[in-house]
Amino acid sequence: MIIDCHGHYTTVPAAHTEWRVAQLAAWEAGLTAPSYPDISDGDLRESIEGSQLKLMRERGVDLTIFSPRASAMAHHQGDEGVSRAWAEACNNLIARVADLYPDNFVGVAQLPQSPGVPIANSIAELRRCVLELGFVGCNLNPDPSGGHWDSPPLTDRSWYPFYEAMVELDVPAMVHVSAVTNPNFHATGSAYLNADTTAFMQFLQSDLFKDFPTLRIVIPHGGGAVPYHWGRFRGLADMLKRPPLDESVMNNVFFDTCVYHQPGINLLFEVIDVDNLLFGSEMVGAVRGIDPETGHYFDDTKRYVETLKLPPSDLDKVYELNARRVYPRLNRAR
């Protein structure tokens, strides 16, 4: 089986997005948001079968760990109540897709984060998604401000209540920021990769995983700049009198293969241990076009992995076994 650990519902029915616009407009006007629209199963099938599911079948992917569109989480918009209603609507839609296609999709939760609001307030939605909707993890935004980074580091104790819930439920989190309002950053070109790199450095500097030895964190987009600068991070760990990365971080942190060229994948697998790598493509996502140098889609990451000619045992880890270890709730249903 090939499990894609990084998929977003980027092709939602138009009525869902239109409701979000109306919800925010109502909040700005001090009015009650309109009722959520009636979206039929047919609408969902139409949005999935010509996009995600079609590409999965063409590329040989069996199961996608599926979450709401990352850029649309927009935790900086509205207030806590707005964010909660939006997260619930998005998660309910993911659950419906997973119910319609149980062999192809399994849910990961969007959290109702909001700037200045304790992350503990997101625990109830995590529990609902895991215990009632059958989700296997969540996306955790280290910067709900929209690119201004005024939240405490992920290693601050203010995050601990949420980590305690993750450990109790036995689910991982993927570090994933959302849209940005800071004009210095392009969302997918810099904000996402900056967040991935920043999260790793925060983990390097802390004893978070001593406090939570079974906590599991996925850093997407190939780990941001981390594999490329692995020597720098190893050197910083030494300079800061931190334990070696293999001891202090890499038992708990995993990278996906959302790297959109062959040399990048080659480096990722050369530097990072195969036990820490999960197959991911983020389709249909940040980079949707065809690479003029290869004639193939940039996000067809399976092609890059296949070119590595890994031993079958390593390929099994990357395609399936590592995902089952990091997302153990997969094993309860599949």
Strands of the sheet containing 63-68, edge to edge, are 3-9, 63-68, 105-107
SS3 call for 102: coil
For residue 232, what are the CA distances in angstroms to 148, 228, 236? Answer: 25, 9, 6
Pairing of strands 63-68, 105-107: parallel
Nearest Cα to 72, choosing from 86, 92, 52, 53? Answer: 86
Using N-to-C axis directions, what is the helix angle for 192-205 and 230-239, rounded to 10°?
Answer: 30
Cβ–Cβ under 8 Å, residues 138 and 165: no
Instruction: Please give the distance of CA 161 from its chain centroid, rounded to a whole number.
Output: 20
Q: What sign has the CA pseudo-torsion 261, 263, 266, 268?
A: negative
Whether residue 282 lies in the annotated active site: yes
Structural element, H or E, at residue 239:
helix 230-239
CA 146 to CA 271: how far, in whole Å?
A: 31
CA 24 to CA 76: how far, in whole Å?
A: 11
DSSP 189: I
Cβ–Cβ under 8 Å, residues 110 and 90: yes
Position of tokens 């940005």? 180
- Residue 68 φ/ψ, nearest 5 degrees: -60, 160
CA 318 to CA 315: how far, in whole Å?
A: 5
Of 46, 132, 282, 293, which is the active-site residue? 282
CA Rg, the chain, in Å? 19
What positions carry a catalytic annotation?
282
